[in-house]
Amino acid sequence: MIEFHLETSSRARTAIRCGDFLRGDFGPVPRTVLIVVDRAAASAHRERIDAVRATCPASVIREVDGGEASKALAFVESLWTTLAEARIDRNGVVVAVGGGALLDAAAFAAATWLRGVDLILVPTTLTGQVDAGLGGKSAVNFGSLKNQVGVIRAPFALWVDTGFLASLPETEWVSGLGEVAKTALLAGDPLWTRTLQDAAALRSRDPARLSAVVEASLRFKASVVRDDPFDDGRRMILNAGHTLGHVLESAAMRRDVPMPHGVAVSIGLHLESRVVPGFDIEAVRRMTAALGLPSEPPFRVSRDEAIDALAGDKKRRGASIRVPVVEAPGVVSFHAASPDALAAAFED
Ligand SMILES: NC(=O)c1ccc[n+]([C@@H]2O[C@H](COP(=O)([O-])OP(=O)(O)OC[C@H]3O[C@@H](n4cnc5c(N)ncnc54)[C@H](O)[C@@H]3O)[C@@H](O)[C@H]2O)c1
Ligand SMILES: [Zn+2]
C-alpha cells in the first residue's frame, strides 16, 4: 500500500467592493460575459444595470424572475442553455445581479459550467448584501428541501451598491434585517452596540447608517469565512437561527405561504433560544425587537413535522445536530441537540 497527498492552491480569492458605484475591471483579455439580472431589480435600477453593462466588453444580458422559485434545477438548466448560446468558454464570466435566491442559482450554474467559470455577484437585497453574496456557498432547492444541491466556490468579485436597496418591498427589507440581527448577535461589539443604536435608522433605511452596517457585516462574515472556507468548523456559527428557521421555510413551502428567509431566521433564533441550553434569550429578544422582527411562527407546525424536516438537516451527524449557541453577543459555542429536543420548540 502506498499513500501520498495532492495539495493544490484553491482559487478562492474574492475582491469585495462597496460603494454607490459599480465599475468592472475585466482586464486586458477579451472575455465573454453573461449578465443575469433579477427583473424586479432591473426595472427599478436601469441606470445601475447599464453601468454594469458598460463595463462588460462583450456581454449578453438575460432578465429573469428572481425569488425563491428561481432556486430550482430547471432554472439552472435554462441558465446552462443561455451559457451555451452565449458561447461562454473557460475564460468567460457570469455576472449575477439580484437577490440571494438568484445569486445562489446563478452561482451554482457558473460553478458547474465547464467545471467552473469566473463569477461576479452584485446583490440587490439587504440579505444578499450582508450575507448571501459572500462566502462562495451556492445551492438550489430539491423538492421542499432547502439548499439541498450545491457547491462551494468563491466568486471572483463582489460588488455591493446599497443604492439598490431603496426599491426593496418592506417584507424583503424586514427579511434582510433578520440576517443583520443574526450578524450582530454573532459578532458582538462594536457591531452589536452600533446596530442597537442605529436600529431606528436601519428600519427607516437611512442610507449612511445602512452602508456602515453592510460594510461591517461583510467584514465580519469575511473574517469567519477566511478561517473556514469549506464550512466544517467555526463557519458553522453562521447557521445560528437557521436550523429551526429552515424547518419553518420548508413548512411554508409545503403550505404554499411566503416565508422570507431572514424572517425565518429571526423566528428560528427565538425558537432555538428556548430549547438550546445556554442561549442568551434576552439578547435575541432585545435585538429582534429593536429591528422590528417577529418572534413567533405565523402558522402551526407540529412536532412530528419538525422532526421530519430536521431529519434532512445538512448539519445532522448521526442522531444529533450541531446548533450554534449565542451565549452572549459575540460569544458563540456549539451544542449537539437531538431532533426531538429541537422539535420541542414547536407546540403540539
Ligand atoms: N449562499 C449563501 O451564503 C446565502 C446566505 C443567505 C441567504 N441565502 C439565500 O438567499 C435567499 C434569500 O435571498 P433574498 O432575501 O435576497 O430574497 P430573494 O432573492 O428571494 O429576493 C426577494 C424578492 O426581491 C426582489 N428583488 C431583488 N432585488 C430587488 C430590488 N433591488 N428592488 C426590488 N425588488 C427586488 C426579487 O425579485 C424577489 O422577488 C434564500 O434562498 C437563502 O437561502 C444564501
Ligand atoms: Zn441565512
Domain coordinates in residue numbering, the chain: 15-167, 172-343
145 lines ligand 1 (CB under 6 A): no
Q: What CATH number labels 15-167? A: 3.40.50.1970
Q: Average pLDDT, whole number, for the chain?
A: 91
100 lines ligand 1 (CB under 6 A): yes
> What integer pLDDT is reported at residue 30 of this predicted model?
65
- Above 70 in pLDDT, residue 6? yes
245 lines ligand 1 (CB under 6 A): no
Percent of the chain having pLDDT more than 70?
A: 93
- Above 70 in pLDDT, residue 171? yes
> What integer pLDDT is reported at residue 112 of this predicted model?
97
Q: What is the DSSP string of 212-246?
A: HHHHHHHHHHHHHHHH-TTSSSGGGGGGTTHHHHH
The number of residues in the chain equals 348
Residue nearest ligand 1's atom 13 by CA: 100
How far, in Å, is the centroid of ligand 2 from the Cα of 325?
16
Task: List, for residues 197-254, the tens digit of each pLDDT value.
Answer: 999 999 999 988 999 999 999 999 999 998 888 888 889 999 999 999 999 998 998 8
Three-state SS for 292-321 is: CCCCCCCCCCCHHHHHHHHHCCCCEECCEE
- What whole-number distance in Å separates Cα of residue 176 and Cα of residue 214? 11
Amino acid making up residue 284: V
211 lines ligand 1 (CB under 6 A): no
Task: List, for residues 124-143, the tens digit of each pLDDT value.
Answer: 999 999 998 899 999 999 98
Nearest listed ligand to the Cα of residue 147: 1
- What is the number of alpha carbons within 13 Å of residue 241 lying toward its C-beta? 30
Query: Residue for cell digits 454573532?
Result: 186
Nearest listed ligand to the Cα of residue 245: 2
- The alpha carbon torsion through 234, 236, 238, 242 (nearest 10 deg) reads -160
Q: Which of 18-22, 113-117, 233-237 has the highest mean pLDDT?
A: 113-117
Task: List, for residues 43-87, the tens digit of each pLDDT value.
Answer: 999 988 888 888 776 789 999 999 999 999 999 999 999 999 999
Mutate to test the pocket of ligand 1, among 14, 22, 36, 38 (most ligand atoms within 8 A of CB): 38
348 — pLDDT class (breaks 50, 70, 90): low
- The alpha carbon torsion through 11, 13, 15, 16 (nearest 10 deg) reads 130
Which strands sit side by side in the sheet containing 331-337, from one edge to the other?
316-317, 320-328, 331-337
20 — pLDDT class (breaks 50, 70, 90): low
The listed CATH number (1.10.1660.10, 1.20.1090.10, 3.40.50.300, 3.30.1370.110) that belongs to domain 172-343: 1.20.1090.10
How far, in Å, is the centroid of ligand 1 from the Cα of 52?
19
- Above 60 in pLDDT, residue 278? yes
Closest listed residue to residue 73, CA positions, set 124, 128, 148: 148
Closest ligand 1 atom to residue 147 Cα is: 43
Mutate to test the pocket of ligand 1, among 39, 172, 293 (most ligand atoms within 8 A of CB): 172
Closest ligand 1 atom to residue 139 Cα is: 1
pTM comes to: 0.92
Mean pLDDT of 325-331: 98
Task: List, for residues 291-325, the tens digit of each pLDDT value.
Answer: 999 999 999 999 999 999 898 776 666 678 999 99
**Pairing verdict, β 118-123 and 93-98:** parallel
Mean pLDDT of 10-26: 70
Residue nearest ligand 1's atom 33 by CA: 168
- Going by C-beta distance under 8 Å and a sequence separation of 6 or more, which residues neighbour residue 84? none
28 — pLDDT class (breaks 50, 70, 90): low
Residue nearest ligand 1's atom 41 by CA: 101
Nearest listed ligand to the Cα of residue 182: 2
Percent of the chain having pLDDT more than 90?
A: 74
CA–centroid distance for 168 within its chain: 16
- Going by C-beta distance under 8 Å and a sequence separation of 6 or more, which residues neighbour residue 147? 71, 104, 139, 140, 141, 314
Question: In terms of C-beta density within 10 A (0-12 exposed, 13-18 middle, 19 or more buried), how is residue 213 classed?
Answer: buried
Helix ranges (DSSP H) in the chain: 39-44, 46-54, 73-85, 100-112, 126-127, 170-187, 191-197, 199-203, 207-227, 242-255, 261-275, 281-290, 303-311, 339-343
Mean pLDDT of 167-196: 97
195 lines ligand 1 (CB under 6 A): no
Same fold: 15-167 with 172-343: no
Residue 115 is classified by DSSP as G
163 lines ligand 1 (CB under 6 A): no
